[in-house]
Amino acid sequence: MKKLVRLLIAAVTCASVIGASVALAEQSVIIKGSTTVLPIVQAATEAYMKAHPGVNISLSGGGSGDGIKALIDKTTDIADSSRSMKPEEIELAKSKGVEPMEHKIAIDAIVPVVNKDNPVKDLSNEQLNLIYQGKITNWKEVGGKDLQIVVISRDTSSGTYETWEQKILKGAKVTPKAQLQASNGAIVQVVSKNRYAIGYVGLGYVNKSLKGLKVNGIQASSATALSGEYPIARPLFMYTNGEPKGETANFLKFMKGAQGQKIVKEEGFVPLPHKK
């Protein structure tokens, strides 16, 4: 009889531990990916965890490609991405039992940036294309000083790079002389300290340490990004494996809701348009 009681106690204890582990897993969310999306999600996770003390959200950057790879490998609950998943990524995900679901959370504009002492204020799509291919090499060719242009670019795992390659380079290759950086923040640091440099960053990263350029005479702003008038605008995404559940679903609802969209605006990006 005593042995039976001990077995029952052990079973109840084991069930309690398993139940607690499941509950703990449901209270944890892992987010990985885009450095463009990072400041939005960083502020949102802080606000969300403050409002929900029992929830733990782990957040890391690394680039859109890294976030999508983590989703495919089932090592993240949410993949942040500044580009849409590619057909081959979706195919690979499905082959591993992952059903990618796209969630649009904000709008962004990719802004060409230069040192604040650079007199150039506006570049066309074509000029940017030729600069990034290495065919325009001196600022005097585009109305600036007689200085060699130092091209700063994101690396190929970046969703921002892929959008730039598509919309500006039109599939051409970036010059091999370009200095590749792993994040928006790194580009801000390099360009702000180099009067020869040009780079590109998400709208929320443009600050007083450098100068954002107009493109085709159009200033990047919430209005021009939403209207499509600004030529290098794009949506920002979160991806989940199928329909999100538990705290992952709750956090996404928060992100798309009034509080989350307010954070998007506060971080310098463009909130989603209101549904009519």
CATH number of the structural domain spanning residue 218:
3.40.190.10
pLDDT class for 156, splitting at 50, 70, 90? confident
| Same domain, residue pair 146 and 175 | yes
Rg value, the chain, Cα:
23
Do 228 and 241 lie in one domain? The reply is: no
Range of the domain at 252: 2-107+237-266
pLDDT level of residue 275 (50, 70, 90 thresholds): low
Is pLDDT at 19 greater than 50 in this prediction? no
Residues 116 and 205 in one domain: yes
| Residues 101 and 118 grouped into a single domain | no
User: Is there a single domain that holds both residue 112 and residue 229?
Assistant: yes
Alpha carbon 124 to its chain centroid, in Å, reads: 25
What's the number of domains the chain is made of? 2
| 27 and 90 belong to one structural domain | yes
CB of 120 closer than 8 Å to CB of 143: yes
Cβ(166)–Cβ(156) below 8 Å: no
Asked if 129 and 152 sit in the same domain, the reply is yes
The 10s digit of each residue's pLDDT in 52-78 is 999 999 999 989 999 999 999 999 999
How confident is the model over 224-229, as a mean pLDDT?
A: 94
The predicted pLDDT at position 22 comes to 42
Nearest C-alpha neighbor of 105 from the set 162, 156, 39: 39
Residue 275 lies in a domain: no
119 and 88 fall within a common domain: no
Domain check: are 122 and 222 in the same one?
yes
Asked if 131 and 118 count as a contact pair (C-beta separation under 8 A), the reply is: no
Position 186 in a domain: yes
Tell me the per-residue pLDDT of 245-263, one tens digit each, with 9 for 90 and over: 999 999 999 999 999 999 9
273 located within any domain:
no
Q: At what angle do helices 64-72 and 87-95 cross, to 10 degrees?
A: 30
For tokens 């139940």, the residue is 19
Q: Name the nearest CA neighbour of 113 among 105, 99, 104, 123.
A: 123
**How many helices (H) and strands (E) would you count in the chain?**
10, 11
Question: Domain for residue 203, yes or no?
Answer: yes
What pLDDT shows up at residue 138?
Answer: 98
pTM of this structure: 0.84
User: Is the separation of the CB atoms in 147 and 106 below 8 Å?
Assistant: no
My answer on whether 12 and 82 are in the same domain is yes
Check: CB of residue 44 under 8 Å from CB of residue 260: yes
Of residues 1 and 39, more confidence is placed in 39
221 in the same domain as 116 = yes
Q: Do 156 and 90 sit in the same domain of this protein?
A: no
* Cα within 13 Å of Cα(83), Cβ side: 24
Rounded to whole angstroms, the Cα distance separating 255 from 249 reads 10
